[in-house]
Structure 1
């Protein structure tokens, strides 16, 4: 069943042409993910589909009486209502009946009101929906229904808007970054909800696991053309690569044919027969195909990282509480060179507080944080870039200097740096407020890296970035030699970047040796901690011989990591030993000797631990 037909639509803002001549359809049951670079018009297309904007040309035909629900990045909610009133403000009669039933349960003495509410629930067969209503509110943590909308945070407003949308049960959902501001548990619940539900939606998201597991069709808006792939994200990646290779082959063939035809044209045949005129006409088409160029430009990320000393960051017995709630206590940790830590935990568990204590923007209740002398933080905050209105992109970068130092004594101008971040000369003189959400995040990333940090803190770095930019950022971070802390709800990103996790749970910070998928596997297979002491005692009495102790999941994971770490340390040791064969100054010999001693101590400690686990 066709829900929407889009025919040859176009959209521009002044001289900026986002797209033109786009045509596609959305059918019942299709779960479509839209992929495109930042600034190519994804949000504009969603607004047109949601009837919040109009195309400059073309038309969109909707099925009669279709009900469309739209989740924008910045939900438009009435600040004068509370959470419950906002949910009930929709035209969904079933929600109003459920609300009457809930209120009747709170006043058991009013039997007449209870009987009427019960009968209304029966008449609409709302019992299953009532269960869904409770589940949605619970999973999105919207239990305080009397809380005013104006007192909600940005993340709470996004969750409320999502709850309203799901409960309103529209025929077609238009979703702009639905996983933003959701914690990992919420994202995984929403993933399961969308996978199992018989619904239709068209969405933009940077969450690649979400695209992989939820969508059955991917659309890519690439350089003004729309390409459709009937499969999930993995299928899209495979077929996209095939398409690009075919395009490259076709262009190469056109170039060879163009050279041949160009020679014929230069000879200027005197007899202009019908056949030759046709060949001249075809020549223009061949020339156009031969001169086709993909405008693929990757962001070039490069920094002149400050040298890290031996002491980086040390946490000594650090604790912090707010409103009698303990976020973490007695936390001890020493960061080492090249550490790549992911931070996970539910909203409100203390992740942002921890980062503020780390960067000395907040004092702990107990303990202390010691920072190394050579430490230089680069902090990419979730709140984004704060720029005064009326400021141009080039002016933002020039605040850091006309010329930016790079590695090996090189330097580039502020304008050249912006070009590396895909802002052309014309775009550089636009006002910052004209940028799309993704372009603004890209500019912010530029201002963080321009300061040449050796300890990067990235708080939700992938929000609003397109998949292409995220891939470039991932490759840069994998080669980044300094320390790295990542707070992200992007599970794919976390799996690729981090080596271990700080898990904020139950007022403590647990150090988990693995990435997010490893942690989920561990958590899903974790045995229940509640045991029957009587059955335990009985089992002990019945045991006649001690059972062989097996390694836990964490110990198995640690054993594998130790093997890799020891191998890398041995390689570093060999490199240093080879360096002593060269002509070195007394200072270099001393520095290398200290490094060699540190490596040998690490090898001894890790080898001892490896033997302990192996035995």
Structure 2
């Protein structure tokens, strides 16, 4: 039984119908992905289902009192000043109690009476578990400064804040428009787990195929103004879509053969005097419409020329960069070789975009040298996109780069012909940019980059807002690309398919060079973590008897000290937790809670250092 449904939905912009007569329903516990090419109306359909947009035709039907949460591509924060204002809703009693509690425990001069009363109220409202959930969500999405003003946030921070608020509110139906945009890979993997825990009902648009495949159990495809439903994940959808297209192609060919015969009959100019003749004429026009409406989907074509590449491509020697005392890159060395296909991975804020800007000369290193070969021609697809003049025509944006473009096979195309290759038909070419969808603007940006025939291609989050069909074609082009490829992406599928080596930004300026793709790296990391967790730090002779030359004398001393400290700290933590369970005095409760948090943090830091030293001692490969 559906809890949210669309009945005969239709919507148009500027007399152009995105879709008509769509009827479908979403049952409780279904996790639905809406797929389709850019410009097919996916975001519009989500906005209609979230009741942010009224359809031109049809209506949305939902269960009475159903709570629907909507994550927009560009969230609206009007009326909200700080992160805290947005996170904690005024009409939610539990959230307001938690907000006040967080404010008081951060204030050393807090009123003890008010705090004691608040602790009682939180218990009465069963809000302690909810408080823990809120902290976990904020921490996982790297939202730490609740007093920060929203207007000072970057686009990525704003999207993560909107996602955090939606997850905290935990609606009965999640409507998510590109939820993985601006998340790093670790965040995406956590979000997968969050959304698949429990019987959550989800409707989403995403380009991330691993995420889609792992989360969704139902696919709705929007194509040629109609919908097709598939009861399964993305892999199942691809299989059944291929079968449907084969069947449609067969039907189309039969219709065309029949139309040819009927056309000969029509050309004899039958007079519609009899009911039989009139019905046959009507059937002819109906068949003609069907044949026109079933033309095969256009496919974007990528085949630009690659400039000649010399022996020297790009060399980085002892490169370092810091901002405001924070080290982004420290003493990094690398010589790029022909055919390098490198992925850049790391958490948000680790410096990936800074690294790309150093390579392209957008910013200069503090120390070290970056030497670019004479024949190296960069093509830089920036995450921020191009600053388009919204009133400029699409074709003029292309002509600003070149009137003619040489393709891989040596053919020369006009700007208009190239736009057609990129699925911008003549009607759209003369439209202004403001009428393009977000994905179409990204496609136009990509086309401008490739027009310059680069031999060193740098792609910073190229998958954001592109439809899956365009991504598939982009991947095929990049697999054939003979130049150097440097890719920053949270899309694990893209990283796995296109890269053979990783630069992993670990933070604090460290960059590890790993041979293999992202899945190889994750599997090796998980295996190393399992091995390390099975070894308990202790002072036994087994742990300290074997010494190798991998560690210096000072590091050996540090390791021995850690192996004595860690068991003592863990015993201290155990004692404090036992003491906490027996406390009733709220002042001591707060003091002890803070002490436990500090002790846990110290244990985490020392354990990580112990693991690092043991890896070096045992000569465990770390991908360097």
Pairwise same-fold verdict (TM > 0.5):
yes
CA distance, structure 1, for counterparts of residue 271 and residue 223 of structure 2:
43
CA deviations on 1:35-86 (whole Å, 9 max, x unpaired) are 0111111111111111111111111122222222111111111475211121
Distance 1:267 1:320, change over 3 A: closer
Aligned partner of 1:351 in structure 2 is: 352
Distance 1:60 1:80, change over 3 A: closer
Residue 534 (structure 2) pairs with residue 534 (structure 1): no
Shift of 1:271: 13
CA distance, structure 2, for counterparts of residue 308 and residue 336 of structure 1:
10
Aligned partner of 2:515 in structure 1 is: 513
Shift of 1:32: 0.9
CA deviations on 1:169-199 (whole Å, 9 max, x unpaired) are 2222211111111111111111110011332
Counterparts of 1:575-586 in structure 2, within 5 Å, are none
Q: SS where residue 180 of structure 2 aligns? A: coil
Aligned partner of 2:14 in structure 1 is: 14
CA distance, structure 1, for counterparts of residue 238 and residue 333 of structure 2:
43
CA deviations on 1:528-565 (whole Å, 9 max, x unpaired) are 399747336557479xxxxxx9996778xx9xxxxxxx
CA distance, structure 2, for counterparts of residue 308 and residue 83 of structure 1:
49
TM score, norm. by length of structure 1 = 0.84
Shift of 1:163: 1.0
Q: SS where residue 239 of structure 2 aligns? A: helix
| Between 516-525 and 276-285, the greater mean CA deviation after superposition | 276-285
Aligned partner of 2:379 in structure 1 is: 378
Aligned partner of 2:28 in structure 1 is: 28
CA distance, structure 2, for counterparts of residue 368 and residue 352 of structure 1:
18
Shift of 1:460: 0.5
CA contact (8 A) 1:78 1:149 kept: no
CA distance, structure 2, for counterparts of residue 266 and residue 439 of structure 1:
42
Residue 201 (structure 2) pairs with residue 196 (structure 1): no
CA deviations on 1:130-167 (whole Å, 9 max, x unpaired) are 11111001101111111111111111111111111111
Aligned partner of 2:158 in structure 1 is: 157
Counterparts of 1:355-370 in structure 2, within 5 Å, are 355-370=356-371
CA deviations on 1:408-467 (whole Å, 9 max, x unpaired) are 543111111111111111111111122110000000011101111110000010100000
The number of residues matched between the two structures is: 551
CA contact (8 A) 2:89 2:95 kept: no
Distance 1:298 1:553, change over 3 A: farther
The gaps in structure 1 that reach 5 residues or longer are 543-548, 559-615
Shift of 1:27: 2.1
CA distance, structure 2, for counterparts of residue 409 and residue 479 of structure 1:
16
CA distance, structure 1, for counterparts of residue 271 and residue 172 of structure 2:
65
Counterparts of 1:496-507 in structure 2, within 5 Å, are 496-506=497-507, 507=509
Aligned partner of 1:431 in structure 2 is: 432
CA distance, structure 2, for counterparts of residue 551 and residue 34 of structure 1:
48
Aligned partner of 1:588 in structure 2 is: none
CA deviations on 1:293-318 (whole Å, 9 max, x unpaired) are 32411111122211000000011111
| Between 147-156 and 478-487, the greater mean CA deviation after superposition | 147-156
Residue 292 (structure 2) pairs with residue 311 (structure 1): no
Aligned partner of 1:99 in structure 2 is: 99
Shift of 1:328: 2.1
Q: SS where residue 386 of structure 1 aligns? A: coil
Distance 1:481 1:56, change over 3 A: same
CA distance, structure 2, for counterparts of residue 55 and residue 349 of structure 1:
43
CA distance, structure 2, for counterparts of residue 537 and residue 470 of structure 1:
53
CA deviations on 1:477-523 (whole Å, 9 max, x unpaired) are 00000001010111111111111110000321111111111111111
Aligned partner of 2:65 in structure 1 is: 65
CA contact (8 A) 1:104 1:117 kept: no
CA distance, structure 2, for counterparts of residue 317 and residue 143 of structure 1:
33
Aligned partner of 2:470 in structure 1 is: 469
CA distance, structure 1, for counterparts of residue 425 and residue 123 of structure 2:
62
Residue 115 (structure 2) pairs with residue 114 (structure 1): yes
Q: SS where residue 251 of structure 1 aligns? A: helix
CA deviations on 1:332-387 (whole Å, 9 max, x unpaired) are 11111111100000111111111111111211122101110101000000110112
Distance 1:287 1:381, change over 3 A: closer
CA distance, structure 2, for counterparts of residue 180 and residue 385 of structure 1:
17
Distance 1:268 1:551, change over 3 A: farther
| Between 372-381 and 144-153, the greater mean CA deviation after superposition | 144-153
Q: SS where residue 173 of structure 1 aligns? A: strand
CA distance, structure 2, for counterparts of residue 326 and residue 362 of structure 1:
15
CA contact (8 A) 1:501 1:512 kept: yes
CA distance, structure 2, for counterparts of residue 442 and residue 225 of structure 1:
24
CA distance, structure 2, for counterparts of residue 73 and residue 435 of structure 1:
15
| Between 265-274 and 324-333, the greater mean CA deviation after superposition | 265-274
Q: SS where residue 539 of structure 2 aligns? A: helix
Aligned partner of 2:449 in structure 1 is: 448
CA contact (8 A) 2:101 2:118 kept: yes
Aligned partner of 1:561 in structure 2 is: none
Residue 138 (structure 2) pairs with residue 133 (structure 1): no
Counterparts of 1:20-419 in structure 2, within 5 Å, are 20-78=20-78, 81-89=81-89, 91-106=91-106, 110-258=111-259, 282=283, 284-289=285-290, 293-407=294-408, 409-419=410-420
Distance 1:265 1:413, change over 3 A: closer
Shift of 1:213: 0.6
CA contact (8 A) 1:80 1:150 kept: no
CA distance, structure 2, for counterparts of residue 3 and residue 286 of structure 1:
37
| Between 170-179 and 255-264, the greater mean CA deviation after superposition | 255-264
CA contact (8 A) 1:251 1:292 kept: no
Shift of 1:470: 0.5
Distance 1:38 1:538, change over 3 A: closer
| Between 111-120 and 244-253, the greater mean CA deviation after superposition | 111-120
The gaps in structure 2 that reach 5 residues or longer are 548-616
Aligned partner of 2:568 in structure 1 is: none
| Between 125-134 and 214-223, the greater mean CA deviation after superposition | 125-134
Aligned partner of 2:581 in structure 1 is: none
Distance 1:148 1:79, change over 3 A: farther
